[in-house]
Structure 1
Amino acid sequence: MFAYALPPSSVRLTAGTFDRRQRRNREYLVSLSERNLVQNHLIEAGIGDQAWHLQPSGSSAIDRGLDRHWGWETPGSLLRGHFLGHWMSAAARETAVTGDVVLRAKLDGVLELLARCQEENGGAWVFATPPSFLRRLAEERDVWAPQYAIHKTFMGLVDVYRDLGEERALQIAHRAAGSIAAWARGFERERFQRILDMETGGMLEVWADLLEATGDDLYRELLELYWHSSLFDALSAGEDALTNMHANTTIPEVLGAARAYEVTGEERWKRVVEQYWEWAVTRRGTFCTGGQTSGEIWTPPFSFAARRGAKTQEHCTVYNMIRLADVLYRWRGDPAHLDYIEANLHNGLLAQQHPETGMVAYFLPLEGGARKQWGTPTEDFWCCHGTLVQAHTRVAPLAIYAADDALTVAQYLPVRAEAMTAGERVCVEVHLRDDASYVGPDANGGPGGELHRPKSLRVRVAVTSADGASARVRLRIPEWTSGEPVVMSTASWRGDGRFLELDHPGGESTVELEFPFALRTVSIPDEPDTVAFAEGPIVLAGLVDREVFLEGDPLEPSTLLAADDERQWTQWLVRYRTTGRDAGVRFIPLNEVTDERYSVYFPVRPTVTR
C-alpha cells in the first residue's frame, strides 16, 4: 500500500463550503424517525402496525401517514428498504467523526428494531426484501434487483460496526449472511453466474468486510461464489466490458473486488480493479465535470457529443467512482486519481446537492438549457438519495492521507487532521484564504486588497508536532495549475513535479501556497469546437435556457468570456459573461446553480467580421 486513509475521528472538515454542506446533510439525517426508516423491514417481519403504535402520533398529519417514507420506499416498492442502509452508514460515520449523541441514539433505536425484525423472522432474515424476490430472480421472472436492496442493509450494519465498533450490528449481519449463503449454494455455478448478471450491488464488498471482521470461512466461500465471470474474466483479459453497460451495476462489484484483494491479498482481484479503471477512465475519458455516464450507462470511449442530455452524470456513479479513485490512490500513489477526486467533489457532490434543502439531483444534465431536478425529503428516496447522504459524511478523509513516512495533503479543503507518522503524532491544518461563500459580521472589514480577483488558489498549511518530532508532508500540485506554484515556507521544501515536499523539523511549520489558474476551455473530444469553461477545478455554467453559439477562438477563452461581478464586500466571486454578443450570457460555478436553467457546453464558431 502506498498510503492509508486516516480513521474517521482523526480528520475533520473545518469552516467552509464542504463543512456547511455536511452540516446540512446532518440536519437531514436527524430529521428522519427510526420507525419510518425501518418501516419496510417491520412490515416484512409482520410487525409494522405494532411499530407505528409504539409512539403516540400527536398530529393529524402523522395519523394519516403523511410523515412516512414514499417513492422508492413506499411499501410495495420493489426496492423498498434500500435507504435504511445508506442512512445507517452515514449516521455511523457522522457519529464517529463528531460524537453526535442524537444520531447515536437514533442508531441504537434502529438496531433494536432490526434485531426485533430478525427475531420475528426466525433469527436470520432481517431484510425488507421478501425471500420470494430471490426466488423470482432465480426463476428469471420480473423483479428489480433484490440483491441490490439486501446489500444496503448489510452495508449499513457493517459500517456501524466498522466506524463505531458496535458488535450488535456485526452479529445481526453475520446471522443474516447464513440465509443468503444457503440460497446461493443451491445453484449450479453456471446458473448462479446468470443470476449475478442481474444487479447484485455491493454484495461482494460485504463478504470481504465480514471475512475481515469475523475470519469465518463462510465468507471465503461467498467470495468465490460471487466472482462475476462475465465481467471479471473479460476485464482480466484486457477487454472493454463497459461500453453501453449500466455503470452503477458494475462499479460496486469492482469495489467489492478491491476489498477482496485488500483482505485476501489475491492478485486476481487487484487486476480486475486496475483494468476497470483503465477502461472506465483512462481509455474512456470523462465529461468536463470529471463525471461520466449518460442514461446511467458508460459512453463509448471519447464519444460524448451524442450523449449529452437530461440524464448525464448519475450521482451514484460519481460517489462510487470517487471511492474507486480513493482505493487506487492508496494502492499506487498516482496523483491523477487525486485530480479525478477533486473534479468530482466540486462538479459532482457539490453540484448535485441543493445548498439549502440538502436534497440530491439524481442526474446532472449537460444538455443545452438544462435544469436540475431535486429530490424531496420523504417522497422520492432514489438510489442517489442514498449515496448523497453517505457522500457528505466521507469528504474529509479524501483530503489527507497518511503513510509510514509522510502525510499527504491531497485536496485543498479546510480540514484538520492528526496522524502518526514515523512514530510521531503530527497535526496538519489546511486553510483557504479566499472562501467566497462566507458572509459574516466582519464581511465589510479588512483592507481593500487586490484591484481584481486573484488568479490563484491561495492556501495556508500549518503543521505542528512536539519539538524535535520531524515529519515529511507532501502537498499535491493540482493538474490544472497554469504556472509554477508560489511557495513561502518556514521549513525547507522541494518539488518533484506533482508534489511539493515539506521537511517539518518539529514544533510548528507553516507554508503559504499559491497555485495559479487561468480560465480554460475543455472541448468535447469528438466535437472539438464545442467547449465548456473551467477555472481551477470548477466548471462554469452559462445561465441560458437553450443551447447557444459563441463566436471566437475555442482554444482562447479570453475571446469568449470576460470577468464579471467579481467582488462583494471582502469576497471574490467566480463570475464571467460572454463578449461580442447582442444578448450576453452570464456564467457562475456549476455547483452554485440551483433552479436556474443552464448550459455547460457551447458550440463556438469563428468570429464574423462585421
Structure 2
Amino acid sequence: MEMLVGRRGFLMSSATLPMLAVPAAAQAGAGLPATAKAFPLSAVRLRPSDYARAVEVNRAYLLRLSPDRLLHNYHEFAGLSPKAEVYGGWESDTIAGHTLGHYLSALALMHAQTGCADCVERAHYIVGELARCQAAHGDGYVAGFSRKRKDGTVVNGKEIFPEIMRGDIRSAGFDLNGCWVPYYNWHKLYTGLFDIVDHIGPNEQAMAIAVGLGGYIERVFASLNDEQVQVMLACEYGGLNESFAELHARTGDARWLRLAERIYDKRNLDPLTQKRDQLANFHANTQVPKLIGLARLHEITGKAEQATAARFFWEQVTRHHSYVIGGNADREYFSGADTIAQHITDQTCESCNTYNMLKLTRHLFAWQPDGALFDFYERAHLNHIMAHQEPVNGGFTYMMPLMSGAKRAYSEREGEEFWCCVGTGMESHSKHGESIFWTGDDTLIVNLYIPADATWKERDAVLGLDTVYPFDGSATLTFTKLGKAGRFPVALRVPGWAKRHEVLVNGKPADATQAGGYAIVTRRWKAGDSVTIRLPLDLRLEPTPGDEQTIAVLRGPLVLAADLGRADGEWDHPEPAMVGQDLLAAFRPVDEESAQYATAGLIRPADLTFVPFYRQYDRRSAVYFKRFTDAQWKVEEAAFLAEQARQKDLAARSVDVMHLGEMQPERDHNLTSEISYPLAYRGRNGRDARTGGFFEFTMTVKPGPLLLQASYWGDERKRTFDILVDNQRIATQTLDADKPGSFFDVDYPVPEALTKGKAKVKVRFVPHDKNSAGPVFGVRLFTARQEPRA
C-alpha cells in the first residue's frame, strides 16, 4: 500500500464537471482544424482585468527576489563564494535550488507577457552564474540541492550519485539517499533554461548548460540496469522525461531521446497505457509531470501508447478525481475514483497539480482541438489558479482548502517559504495570456474570454478582445488591423454549461456552424470587422462525482462560495447545509455585475451571501453543501448538528494532535520507532509497529484530567498492543473487526499523576508478541469534559 506522505509533509517532517465530455475523435474535421497551436505569449498583451492585475502583482514579486540568494547553494557547492545568504524555508532544506528553475521560467514568461527588460537582465545574469558553477565542477554537474547524512550533517547533494552508480539506491518516495527529489529539481532547472531560449531568445550558454548536465545525468543512468532504474524512479522525478525529450528535439541528438524513454516509471505508467485507473493513494503531482513528458515524447516519436496514457489520465482526473474548482487531490494524494465528497478537507487541491494539468491540457488540445478540453482549462484557470495568488503582495497558496470555514494560507511577502507551489505560482501568474488565442489551418480559435490585444503574424493582423467575462456573458473580437484580409473561419468556444448562445458579426445576428464545442463563423474578414458571442450566465448546481447529495453552486464558469467572514476571524458555526425542493429559486441577486447573490430560507442554520470563490483570498468560505429536502432535514438535522458540535467541542478541548504517518508532524513530535512503518488506507495516513518494534512521540499536556484518543480502522484482523505514557501502561487495545466499514475512535483516560507538573509526555505504542500495534490513524490529547456542579 502506498505511503501517503506528501512533499509538504515530507519537508514539514469536482464536482462531476458534466460539461467535460471526453474529447471525441469523431469531432475532428467537422469545421475545426486537425491540429492547433497557441499564439506566442509575446504576441498577447492583457487589457485591464483581474488577470492583468495578477501579472503586475507577480512582476513586483519577482523583482523583489534576489537572484544571488537563489544561487547561494549553486555557488557554494561549486566551490565558489556565495554572493548572498541563502533563503529560508525549502531553500534551506535538501530540495534547495528548485526555486531557481521556476524563477528562470517566470522571468522568461514575464518578459514575453509584458516586455519586462529587468526580467531579461536577471535571467541572463543567472544563466551566466550557472555556467560559472558548471565550469567549476568540471564534469557537467550543476545543482543547488543538498544531502542530509545519517548523522544529520548537511553536505553537497552531489555526494549521492557515486553511491547510486554503485547500485546503492535508497528511496522513501521523496528522499533519494538523503537528498530530496534531485531529479525533480533538475527538471525545474531544465524547464527554466528552455524557457529562456523560447521566450527571451537563442542562448548558447543556456543550451551548453543543458547539454553538459545531460551528460552527467546520462552517466548515472548508464551505470544502472533496468531494475535499478525502476528503484531509483520510485523517488519523485518530476518531468525529467520531458526535459530529455526537449533536449533531443532541440539538439537532434538521439542519445537524449533514448534517455527520455528510459525515464519511465512502470508501476504508475503501465496501467495508464492500458486504460486502468489505479490512481488511488498515489501522490498526485508526482504523476502529472510524467504524463506531460509522455505527451511530449508522443509528439516526437508518434508512439500510440504514449498518447493513450496521457489522454486516459486526463480523462480520469478531470471526470473522476477533480473538485469543482478544477483542482485535485486531498493532502496531495488521489483518492478513489468518484470519492470527492469524502475528501472535502482543508488540504485539498495542491496548486502545482492544476498548474501541470493545464500544461497537459494544452498538449492534448494541440493534437486535436476540442472545446471540452478548454471547458476544463477555463474552470481550473479561473477558479483555482486565480485563487492561488494573494492579490496584494503576491504570495501563493500551497493547498486550496475547500472545507467549509477553512482559510487560505499564503506564502509571505518576502517569500521565505519557497514551497513547490510558490515556484509554479511565479510561473502561472506570468502567463495569463498564453492560451486565449490559437490557430490551425488558417482558423482563428478563441478559447478563453480574457480581455487582451494580440498580433496574428500569419495574417499581419492585430486583434482586440473586449469583455468583462466572467461577470458578463458577452465578448467581442475585433480585427483592428488585417493586412491579409480574406475568407477564413473564426471559432468561438461555446462552454458545455451554456444552454444557448448568440453570435453577431458587426453587431448583427450571424449564422454560425457548430462543431466540437465551438461556434464557427466563416466569411471574408476585413479590418474593422467584429464578431461577438453572448453566453447566458445562469446559476446552476453541480454534484460531486459519486454523490448527488453533495453540491456546489456555479454561475457560468464561476464557482460561487458562501462568504463566512474574514480569514483573520473565527468561524465556529455548524457546517452549512441546503434545505428545500427548488434550491436555485432561493437565490436572489445582490450585485449581478460582481456575481453576488443572497439566499432566502435556504441555508441551515442561517442564510448566506454567495460570491466568486477565487476572489475570497482574505475570507473564509463554503463551497460544498449537503442538500436535503424538508422531510430529509427533519430526520437528519439532529444527527447532523450533533456531529458538527462534537467535532467542534473536541477541537476546542484539544491540547495536542499527532498526525501519524506525516513527516512534519512526526518530526515536530520527535517520533522515534523500530520496525514501524507509515501507511495509508482509505485516504487516511497512519502508522503501525510490527512484532519487536514500537513507535513513540512527545505530546504537549496541561494540568487537569486528560483523555488520549486514538483512531483505528474498524475492519482490522485481530491484534493486541499496549499504550504507554512516560513508560507507564495506560491501556491494552485489541482490534478485531470492531466496526466494519468505518474508522472509529477510542478514548483512554490518562492518570493525572503521569502529567502533573509536566509540559510534555511521551506516548508509546508497543505490540504484543506475534502481533502488530495499530495501524493508528492519528492521536489526540484533550481535556476531559467538566461536568456541571450540582
- Structure 1 runs of 4+ off > 6 angstroms? none
| Alignment partner of 1:9 out of 9, 31, 42 | 42
Q: Kindly state the Cα deviation for residue 233 of structure 1 after the two structures are TM-superposed.
A: 2.1
Asked whether the 8 Å contact 1:426–1:471 carries over to 2, the reply is no
Distance 1:380 1:152 in 2: 17
**Structural mapping, 1:109-188, within 5 Å:** 109-129=125-145, 130-134=157-161, 138-140=168-170, 141-163=177-199, 164-188=201-225
Q: Kindly state the Cα deviation for residue 290 of structure 1 after the two structures are TM-superposed.
A: 1.8
Distance 1:555 1:271 in 2: 42
Two-structure CA RMSD over aligned residues (Å): 2.2
Q: Does 1:470 align with 2:487?
A: yes
- Aligned CA distance change for structure 1 residues 132 and 347 (closer, same or farther; 3 Å): same
Partner of 2:248: 211
Q: Kindly state the Cα deviation for residue 542 of structure 1 after the two structures are TM-superposed.
A: 1.1
Asked whether the 8 Å contact 2:327–2:354 carries over to 1, the reply is yes
Asked whether the 8 Å contact 1:549–1:605 carries over to 2, the reply is no
Distance 1:541 1:490 in 2: 35
Partner of 2:757: none
Distance 1:434 1:274 in 2: 29
Q: Letter of the 2:544 partner, please give it.
A: I
SS at match of 2:619: coil
SS at match of 1:511: strand
Q: Does 1:350 align with 2:386?
A: yes
Q: Deviations over 1:208-228 (max 9, x none)?
A: 111011111220221232132
Asked whether the 8 Å contact 2:242–2:293 carries over to 1, the reply is yes
SS at match of 2:424: helix
Partner of 2:531: 511
Asked whether the 8 Å contact 1:548–1:603 carries over to 2, the reply is no
- Aligned CA distance change for structure 1 residues 434 and 94 (closer, same or farther; 3 Å): closer
Partner of 1:39: 72
Q: Letter of the 2:72 partner, please give it.
A: Q
Q: Kindly state the Cα deviation for residue 120 of structure 1 after the two structures are TM-superposed.
A: 1.3
**Structural mapping, 1:82-481, within 5 Å:** 82-129=98-145, 130-134=157-161, 138-140=168-170, 141-163=177-199, 164-282=201-319, 284-376=320-412, 377-420=414-457, 424-433=459-468, 456-463=472-479, 464-466=481-483, 468-481=485-498
Q: Which moved more, 1:594-603 or 1:207-216?
A: 594-603
- Aligned CA distance change for structure 1 residues 314 and 547 (closer, same or farther; 3 Å): farther
Partner of 1:501: 520
Distance 2:524 2:97 in 1: 50
Alignment coverage as a number of residue pairs? 565
Identity %: 28
SS at match of 1:397: coil
Q: Which moved more, 1:316-325 or 1:507-516?
A: 507-516
Q: Deviations over 1:493-535 (max 9, x none)?
A: 4131521222242222112322012111112233322221111
Distance 2:71 2:120 in 1: 16
Q: Does 1:600 align with 2:634?
A: no
Distance 2:581 2:101 in 1: 46
Distance 1:605 1:233 in 2: 42
Asked whether the 8 Å contact 2:292–2:310 carries over to 1, the reply is yes
- Aligned CA distance change for structure 1 residues 4 and 434 (closer, same or farther; 3 Å): closer
Q: Kindly state the Cα deviation for residue 482 of structure 1 after the two structures are TM-superposed.
A: 3.1
Q: Deviations over 1:389-414 (max 9, x none)?
A: 11122321211111122010000001
Q: Which structure has the larger Rg over C-alpha atoms?
A: 2
Asked whether the 8 Å contact 2:318–2:326 carries over to 1, the reply is no
Distance 1:228 1:433 in 2: 44
**Structural mapping, 1:57-96, within 5 Å:** 68-74=86-92, 77-96=93-112
Distance 1:124 1:555 in 2: 66
Partner of 1:526: 546
Distance 1:563 1:286 in 2: 28
- Aligned CA distance change for structure 1 residues 247 and 433 (closer, same or farther; 3 Å): closer
Structure 2, unpaired ranges of 5+? 1-33, 146-156, 171-176, 565-570, 635-790
Distance 2:427 2:118 in 1: 17
Distance 1:123 1:188 in 2: 22
Q: Does 1:543 align with 2:563?
A: yes
- Aligned CA distance change for structure 1 residues 125 and 20 (closer, same or farther; 3 Å): same
Partner of 1:439: none
| Alignment partner of 2:588 out of 562, 567, 571 | 562
Distance 2:268 2:484 in 1: 53
Distance 2:346 2:239 in 1: 27
Distance 1:224 1:583 in 2: 57
**TM-score of the two chains, using structure 2 as the length reference:** 0.68
Q: Kindly state the Cα deviation for residue 72 of structure 1 after the two structures are TM-superposed.
A: 0.2
Q: Which moved more, 1:543-552 or 1:475-484?
A: 543-552
SS at match of 2:490: strand
- Aligned CA distance change for structure 1 residues 201 and 468 (closer, same or farther; 3 Å): closer
Q: Kindly state the Cα deviation for residue 299 of structure 1 after the two structures are TM-superposed.
A: 2.3
Q: Does 1:21 align with 2:54?
A: yes
- Aligned CA distance change for structure 1 residues 554 and 87 (closer, same or farther; 3 Å): farther
Distance 1:295 1:307 in 2: 9
- Aligned CA distance change for structure 1 residues 471 and 394 (closer, same or farther; 3 Å): same
Q: Kindly state the Cα deviation for residue 322 of structure 1 after the two structures are TM-superposed.
A: 0.7
**TM-score of the two chains, using structure 1 as the length reference:** 0.88
Q: Kindly state the Cα deviation for residue 90 of structure 1 after the two structures are TM-superposed.
A: 1.1
SS at match of 2:269: helix
Partner of 1:575: 596
